[in-house]
A and B are shown apart, each in its own frame.
Chain A
């Protein structure tokens, strides 16, 4: 093999870079994000359920919010009919955040963990717990 050492060195560097995400997390403890639903509004509820099933909300909340924006501003449709027939106002500030009034312990918990930075709060006003900016 001509220039064998170069190839092997290259391969070693390649393997190190590829496995970096794994090797870098050695020794770090995995902290599972635990979004809290402990707010006065949710505590008052008899059946602690969001507009839809928990798993569905986990997976789809951003798509729901994204389409809500279009429904409300573009089509003037502002009543969401949940699969159980209950009706909700299509509004992040006036529906979602009325119950989830703990943005820092609910939204940010997972968003920080996966390092996503949704820009909702540039405009939408977060509930007063953490203080309005």
Chain B
């Protein structure tokens, strides 16, 4: 039998909880009644992936064109100090790109070749697993995206990522951007950033900037579509990926 006193206690307490709860939920609630749709032109894919034909990247200029296209469009700051640098797409040599699986007796030419590196948009991304605030997440189309509004700058994802694809903004990024692209935001001090596979372009039906700037040296497409160009390229060439042994299922393939 519940006493009158207990009943009142429970009632008062739960109404208090209700009030508090309603306030919080209301503050976070989306504005209802909005109609927001996908662009009809958006590229449709279940698992975006990329093949980089490293044989075709010959001169410094080939790399520079691609890197510049990305970094300029996304307002990536140019910081010379490697401790503070921010990069979305960059290069490294064979040994450091394929640590652990690099062949010791591979041709000198390959050893000296440079490789274009970027976020691998892993099928099993450690950065997403470790993010304590779900700022970084997997989109249904396989893109590992990051919500900059949510990032608290804890750097767990940087520790989690085996590819060094993530950089923390130790310095105010706007001070290091020569020419701002007014169409795209910058980041702010204290957040982690990385390549987003140009999801803003995919959503509008365009290919990523690097793919466009590479003029055919990078192939982008839906890995789960057996008739896609990328599947054809993968079937016709022998490819390697970075650090597959870690089980992250990287989505960037390299033709050697």
Contact = CB atoms under 8 A, between A and B. Distances in A.
A74 B203 contact: no
A14 B107 CA distance: 84
Interface string B145-157: 1011100000000
Q: Is the interface of A mostly helix, strand, loop or mixed?
A: helix
A69 B147 contact: yes
A80 interface: yes
Contacts of A70: 30
A12 interface: no
Contacts, number: 81
B187 interface: yes
Given A93-B183, A125-B180, A81 B36 contact: yes
A79 B30 contact: no
A36 to B, nearest CB: 21
Interface in A44-83: 60, 63-64, 66-81
Contacts of A74: 137, 139, 145, 147
Interface of B: 29-31, 34-39, 42, 75, 137, 139, 141, 145, 147-149, 174, 180, 182-189, 199-200, 202-204
B30 A69 contact: no
A67 B34 contact: yes
A123 B185 contact: yes
A125 to B, nearest CB: 5
Contacts of B183: 93-94
B149 A63 contact: no
